[in-house]
A and B are shown apart, each in its own frame.
Chain A
Amino acid sequence: MKPPKFSYLAPESVKNAIAMKQELGENARYIAGGQSLVPMMNFRVAAPSALIDLNGLTELSKVSLSSDSALNIGALTRTRRLENDPKITGAHPLLAAAARHIAHAQIRNRGTIGGSIAHADPAAELPGIVLACDAEIELQGPRGFRTVHAVDFFESVFTTALEEGELLLNIKFPRWPKDRKWGFQEVSRREGDYALVGIAAWFDLDATSSISACGLSAIGAADTPVRLTKSEAALLGSVPSLPLFEKAAAEVTADIDPFDDVHASAIYRCEVAAALAIRTLTEAWERDT
């Protein structure tokens, strides 16, 4: 389990990194936390000719609130910081809660939010959160800067809207109202394993206590994280109640398309996704915000 030979480059700026990538071409890879790429290299599943190491680019690990209260998280921000930095946990408690389910502390210390999103494992937590929360993913590439909405970002297993040479700069989460209800639940074989299936949910209530806005997503339930639009439609405009949640959960299977693997069958994932939807919405509803 030793990787084949590769060259190593440490760019000094984003611009520099992109230029290196452009020069080295498709076989070069950006590396951030390396928590997925390095094992793949050791298994020789990935054999990049060169690694462009982003870890020195401090400009990529900034966390800030913009004037519209959107939360900007630099791509190089470590997963561990998502759960611990008060700037993030206060501004986006759902993100912080989901981050705690990712692997183990040692891995969270190295792994980055941008790495997880760019890697696009369909069972990973962070892609599910950006999708549920309508985050904007900011990219910089040889042809300049662009923004991709999370809904358009995840295309298939390990496949995203990132184009050759593009680098994930920043994830922009829209304003998180203080009294927003939210929940996150997943089932995994062991604590820290990839989710067999998981559900993220949030909703806002209007003056009549009806659901005025909501976002639900499922992970481990298809070849990408999935936005549960049919469940959302079932919730919108209604007053939260267990029967309402059950009605919304009944729509989950219409949006997902899970697979069999050695850990669980597609049927398992379907039924547990629906059950978790009820639990997640209940968790959200019972949350004292």
Chain B
Amino acid sequence: MSKSYIGKSIRRLEDKRFLTGTGKYIDDVKLPGMASMAILRSPHAHAFITKIDMKSARAMEGVIDVFCANDLEDELPEIPLRLAPFTDFQRFLQKPLANKKVRYVGEPVAVVVAEDRYIAEDALELICLEVEPLPAIVTVQDSLKGETLIHDAAGENIGTQYSVSRGDVEAAFKGAFYTRREHFRTNRHGAVPLETRGLIAEVEPTKPLLRLHGATKVNFFNRRHLAEAFNLPESSVELIETDVGGGFGVRGELYPEDYLVPIASYRSGRPVKWIEDRRENLSATNHSRDITCEMEIAATADGNILGMRASVQGDMGAYIRTNGGVVPSKAAQFLPGPYRVPSFACDVQFLITNKTPVGTFRGPGRFEANFCRERMMDLMADDLNIDPAVLRHRNLLTPEELPYRIGELVPGDPDATLDKGDYPSALDRLLTECRYSDWIDKQDPSDGKLRSMGIACFIESSAAGPPESASITVLSTGDIEVRTGASSVGQGTETGLAQICAEYLDIEIERVEVSHGSTTLVKTGGGTFHSRNTVMAGNATRIAAKKVKEKAKELAALRWNCHPTELTYENGEVCKSPDRFTLQELATFAETRGDILSADAIFDNEKKLSYSYGAHAAQIALDITTGLVKVERYWLTEEIGRALNPAMIQGQAVGGVIQGLGGTFLDHFIYDDDGQLLTGSFADYLLPTSSELPEITAIALENFPSELNPMGFKGAGEGGIVAVAAAVGNAIARALKPYNISINELPLTPDRLREALRGAESLK
């Protein structure tokens, strides 16, 4: 092949429109006759609804419709479980509007449809919601006690619970030279994409059609459930994807609004737009990460791990939404991580509280598990007086031990196996990059700050879920159209798939246009999550391109009246020396025959997961007087099998680190005892900004192409975030080693560090 695009840092094709303000996000979509919707959300965490008086709101000029659950003839559907659908969860599913009872601050109670959003919000203020307050359950401890039930019919606040294990953990702990037990906590925070959610529904009265703009992520799954909910054939429901300003797991799941906007459109007979504002976003969009983990480790005197046992409790919020039990179950599954852990046992509990429901957020469960495990590794290293890197080396699975069966650690999931790789060499590369062996933790005489370095190892699975589709069509203009069921949430899917298409068709990439996500483009699709797109849609695109080449040869063979096997394909042309046909000529020829030069493809990895892996290092400077921590440098290595576009992968890794630093220091949904969200605006919910960024060195390794897909890709979207709290936590703990302070709870705020130091200083 002469045109080489795979492995090149091609400039992102989508950037021009993003950077020049010509992207088309959901709020840029305007339909004729469109009305605006706003939602009355519960200001109470837990209460019986006694009355909703909507009279004045309905009477307001410019108001088209006001409704609550009681106004609807059909019973509202439940939002379905898509992932980790543990059976007991059926008792805790959410309906799009609260009926009789509200269970978290932000729960939709009533809907206003008006001529514009200003009027809609004015009308919200006129709705009178009367309630009988109930005690709010805001901790997992209170949830467990069950004195107040959040879902009365369930009879308990435990969403579900289970135990998983492998090996004989009792025996491992019984004879162990070394054991340690710690309590860890990762705080409730979330993805908080810069573009909030938004939807526009349009219904056509003359035929059954529901078109929903603003969809993304898992459009075909969502279409199926929306069709069911609105009693329509699937073919009558269209989910249309626009540009999306960040997904990170939360965008594109089914939420109450995905039902309310269509209902509003049906009732009013008009297209209805709802744009989530930031205040809504912080209490209405899924939260995540809210885990406590009681963890114990057993090892030999040399630090060889004999066993781990743990109990993980997840604060699930008030309902179980589409992501089911992913967060706590993955936290449990990933606790042993990349290490040789001969025996492991974990109890997992999913607790219902009066908070916003929890869903997946980039690296769900992994960020949490890595923090707990890698902190434990450093504590053990100190206890046994072994260097943290040496200790990790002793326990990392070796290339000879891979593939390694980790067993069935999530009920209902297939038996999981870590695929081939070389974990120690990924750590070694990191240690070389950060000059680990030359580094000395110290109090710097120049500014009095404590400077230290922390490291952490990780594994990260990728590309789970259903098959993915791609279809390639050569137009008679010579342009090439790639369509896929995968979505783009801003990560560069258009560029990546164009690279693969252009490489395999041996053409200029400028000729390729990628459309994605919308259910109108392809027959089926799997969607975008779990670092899937390059693996799944990438391989599907490759298959489609190969089929297009074959079809091109068949068409050329008709023209030349020969057999396709006599023909070659090069430089975007079919050749029979010295003659040749361009793809454009063949596409035109196909058209004259009532045919089309195109091919559909499906890639199915049969749910075999590729695991990326690597290590992180953070160098920090800690001002002991103020408790302020500055991350000065950050390094990570990540084996991703094969890099499709190194610059985009670098972007994923760097972006992941930054988002991880937010989760480590800043992002925090804080609730008071009454279940009120105290960090409900960007003044109090803090995201990392460019001012907080360290110099980040992200190294993608391509030493072990995945054997589970023909192109060798492993997911590369989450390795940047998953070990940040772990590495930074270890660095801070090392800096504060003389004070013997436990760094077991996120976020690591100046106030918390000072509080711990005060305790330690007073003991001195």
* A189-B686 contact in complex given A43-B279, A264-B750, A265-B751, C-beta closer than 8 Å: yes
Q: Which of A57-65, A142-150, A268-276 sits within the interface?
A: A268-276
A272 touches B626 (CB 8 A): yes
B692 touches A190 (CB 8 A): yes
Q: Which of B116-124, B343-351, B383-391, B489-497 sits within the interface?
A: B116-124
Within 8 Å CB of A189, what residues of B? 666, 686, 749-750
Q: Which of B371-379, B513-521, B548-556, B676-684 sits within the interface?
A: B676-684
A193 at interface by CB-CB < 8 Å: yes
* A193-B686 contact in complex given A1-B277, A187-B628, A271-B754, C-beta closer than 8 Å: yes
Within 8 Å CB of B626, what residues of A? 187, 272, 275-276
Contact with A along B722-760 (1 / 0, CB 8 A): 000000000000000000000000000111001100100
A4 touches B122 (CB 8 A): yes
B565 at interface by CB-CB < 8 Å: no
A191 touches B625 (CB 8 A): no
A230 to chain B minimum Cβ distance, whole angstroms, is 21
> In this complex, what residue of A is CB-closest to B691?
A191
Within 8 Å CB of A267, what residues of B? 755, 758
A180 to chain B minimum Cβ distance, whole angstroms, is 26
Which residues of chain A (253-289) have a CB below 8 Å from chain B?
A: 262-265, 267-268, 271-272, 275-276, 279
Q: How many A-B residue pairs have CB under 8 A?
A: 70
B278 at interface by CB-CB < 8 Å: yes
Within 8 Å CB of B279, what residues of A? 1, 43
B681 touches A43 (CB 8 A): yes
A268 touches B121 (CB 8 A): no
- In the bound complex, CA of A238 to CA of B692 (Å): 40
B444 to chain A minimum Cβ distance, whole angstroms, is 16
Find A190's partner among B679, B686, B758 (CB 8 Å cutoff).
B686
B689 at interface by CB-CB < 8 Å: yes
- In the bound complex, CA of A1 to CA of B755 (Å): 36
- In the bound complex, CA of A23 to CA of B91 (Å): 60
B689 touches A192 (CB 8 A): yes
A216 at interface by CB-CB < 8 Å: no
B566 at interface by CB-CB < 8 Å: no
B755 to chain A minimum Cβ distance, whole angstroms, is 7
> In this complex, what residue of A is CB-closest to B278?
A1
- In the bound complex, CA of A265 to CA of B670 (Å): 14
A2 touches B117 (CB 8 A): yes
A167 at interface by CB-CB < 8 Å: no
- In the bound complex, CA of A276 to CA of B628 (Å): 13
- In the bound complex, CA of A189 to CA of B628 (Å): 8
B684 touches A263 (CB 8 A): yes
Which residues of chain A (1-31) have a CB below 8 Å from chain B?
A: 1-5
- In the bound complex, CA of A275 to CA of B277 (Å): 40
B684 touches A5 (CB 8 A): no
Within 8 Å CB of B118, what residues of A? 2-5
Within 8 Å CB of B678, what residues of A? 262
- In the bound complex, CA of A191 to CA of B692 (Å): 7
B125 at interface by CB-CB < 8 Å: yes
B750 touches A268 (CB 8 A): yes
Within 8 Å CB of A279, what residues of B? 625
B277 touches A190 (CB 8 A): no
A44 touches B125 (CB 8 A): yes
Within 8 Å CB of A43, what residues of B? 279, 681
- In the bound complex, CA of A83 to CA of B627 (Å): 28
Within 8 Å CB of B277, what residues of A? 1
B125 touches A192 (CB 8 A): no
> In this complex, what residue of B is CB-closest to A193?
B686
Within 8 Å CB of B122, what residues of A? 4-5
A120 at interface by CB-CB < 8 Å: no
Find B670's partner among A193, A196, A262 (CB 8 Å cutoff).
A262
B691 touches A192 (CB 8 A): yes
Contact with A along B166-206 (1 / 0, CB 8 A): 00000000000000000000000000000000000000000
- In the bound complex, CA of A193 to CA of B278 (Å): 18
> In this complex, what residue of B is CB-closest to A264?
B751
- In the bound complex, CA of A44 to CA of B627 (Å): 35
B625 touches A275 (CB 8 A): yes
A268 to chain B minimum Cβ distance, whole angstroms, is 5
- In the bound complex, CA of A43 to CA of B279 (Å): 8
> In this complex, what residue of A is CB-closest to B122?
A4
Within 8 Å CB of A275, what residues of B? 625-626
- In the bound complex, CA of A196 to CA of B681 (Å): 17
A194 to chain B minimum Cβ distance, whole angstroms, is 8
> In this complex, what residue of B is CB-closest to A196?
B750
B679 touches A262 (CB 8 A): yes
Within 8 Å CB of B686, what residues of A? 189-190, 193
A2 touches B121 (CB 8 A): yes
- In the bound complex, CA of A193 to CA of B689 (Å): 11
Within 8 Å CB of B666, what residues of A? 189-190
- In the bound complex, CA of A264 to CA of B626 (Å): 11
Which residues of chain B (630-677) have a CB below 8 Å from chain A?
A: 666, 668, 670
A268 touches B755 (CB 8 A): yes
Within 8 Å CB of A194, what residues of B? 683
- In the bound complex, CA of A264 to CA of B668 (Å): 13
A268 touches B754 (CB 8 A): yes
A210 to chain B minimum Cβ distance, whole angstroms, is 28
> In this complex, what residue of A is CB-closest to B124?
A44
> In this complex, what residue of B is CB-closest to A185?
B626
B19 to chain A minimum Cβ distance, whole angstroms, is 18
A271 to chain B minimum Cβ distance, whole angstroms, is 7
Contact with B along A166-206 (1 / 0, CB 8 A): 00000000000000000000010111111010000000000
- In the bound complex, CA of A194 to CA of B122 (Å): 31
A122 to chain B minimum Cβ distance, whole angstroms, is 14
- In the bound complex, CA of A190 to CA of B692 (Å): 7
- In the bound complex, CA of A74 to CA of B121 (Å): 37
| Most chain B CB atoms below 10 A, which of A4, A190, A196 | A190
> In this complex, what residue of A is CB-closest to B680?
A43
- In the bound complex, CA of A264 to CA of B666 (Å): 12
Which residues of chain B (276-291) have a CB below 8 Å from chain A?
A: 277-279
> In this complex, what residue of A is CB-closest to B662?
A190
- In the bound complex, CA of A125 to CA of B303 (Å): 52
Within 8 Å CB of B117, what residues of A? 2
> In this complex, what residue of B is CB-closest to A276?
B626
B660 to chain A minimum Cβ distance, whole angstroms, is 16
A74 to chain B minimum Cβ distance, whole angstroms, is 28
A90 to chain B minimum Cβ distance, whole angstroms, is 27
B302 to chain A minimum Cβ distance, whole angstroms, is 42
- In the bound complex, CA of A188 to CA of B696 (Å): 23
B751 touches A190 (CB 8 A): no
- In the bound complex, CA of A17 to CA of B278 (Å): 34
B706 to chain A minimum Cβ distance, whole angstroms, is 39
Q: List 28 A-B contacts (CB under 8 A).
A: A1-B121, A1-B279, A2-B117, A4-B118, A4-B122, A5-B122, A44-B121, A187-B626, A187-B628, A189-B666, A189-B686, A190-B666, A190-B691, A191-B691, A191-B692, A194-B683, A196-B750, A262-B668, A264-B750, A265-B751, A265-B755, A267-B758, A268-B750, A268-B751, A268-B755, A272-B625, A275-B625, A279-B625
7 pairs of A and B residues whose beta carbons are closest in the complex: A191-B691, A1-B277, A264-B751, A275-B625, A2-B118, A268-B751, A2-B121
Interface residues of B (CB under 8 A from A): 117-118, 121-122, 125, 277-279, 625-628, 666, 668, 670, 678-679, 681, 683-684, 686, 688-689, 691-692, 749-751, 754-755, 758
Contacts beyond the supplied A268-B755, A271-B758: 16 A-B pairs with Cβ under 8 Å: A2-B118, A4-B118, A4-B125, A5-B118, A5-B122, A189-B666, A190-B686, A190-B688, A192-B689, A196-B750, A196-B751, A263-B684, A267-B755, A271-B754, A275-B625, A279-B625
